[in-house]
Amino acid sequence: MAKPSSSLSTPHYGKPLAGWRLRWYTIIFEADTRAGRVFDLSLIALILLSIAVVMADSVQAIHQSHGPMLNGAEWLFTVLFTAEYIARLLCVRKPLQYATSFFGIIDLVAVLPTYLALFFPELHALIDVRVLRLLRVFRVFKLAAYVAEYQFLGRALAASGRKILVFLSAVLMVVLVMGTVMYVVEGQTNGFTSIPTSVYWAISTVTTVGFGDITPKTDLGRLIASFMMLMGWGILAVPTGIVTAEMAAQRQMQVSQAPTTRTCHECLSEGHGPGADFCSSCGARLPPYQQHADTAS
User: How many C-alpha atoms does 157 have within 13 Å on its Cβ side?
Assistant: 6
Q: Is 263 strand, coil or helix?
A: strand
> What minimum distance in Å lies between the beta carbon of 210 and a second copy?
4
Query: Do 26 and 33 touch, CB atoms closer than 8 A?
Result: yes
Q: By CB under 8 A, tell whether 79 contacts a second copy.
A: no
> Taking every pair of C-alpha atoms in the chain, what is the biggest distance, in angstroms?
82
Query: Do 250 and 257 touch, CB atoms closer than 8 A?
Result: no
Please identify which residue in 90, 134, 140, 258 interacts with a second copy, judged by CB under 8 A. 134
Binders of a second copy in range 33-62 (CB under 8 A): 51, 54-55, 58-60
Please identify which residue in 19, 162, 261, 265 interacts with a second copy, judged by CB under 8 A. 162
Please identify which residue in 219, 290, 292, 294 interacts with a second copy, judged by CB under 8 A. 219
> What minimum distance in Å lies between the beta carbon of 22 and a second copy?
33
The CA-CA-CA angle for residues 95, 20, 46, to 5°, reads 70
The total of other beta-carbon atoms located within 10 Å of residue 228's CB is 21
Q: Which stretch binds a second copy (CB under 8 A): 32-40, 88-96, 104-112, 128-136?
A: 128-136
Binders of a second copy in range 186-205 (CB under 8 A): 187-188, 193-197, 199-200, 203-205
Q: What is the dihedral of CA 44, 47, 51, 53, to 10 degrees?
A: 110
Q: Which stretch binds a second copy (CB under 8 A): 21-29, 79-87, 94-102, 240-248?
A: 240-248
Q: By CB under 8 A, tell whether 285 contacts a second copy.
A: yes
The total of other beta-carbon atoms located within 10 Å of residue 269's CB is 14
> What minimum distance in Å lies between the beta carbon of 37 and a second copy?
21
**Contacts with a second copy: how many residues (CB under 8 A)?**
109
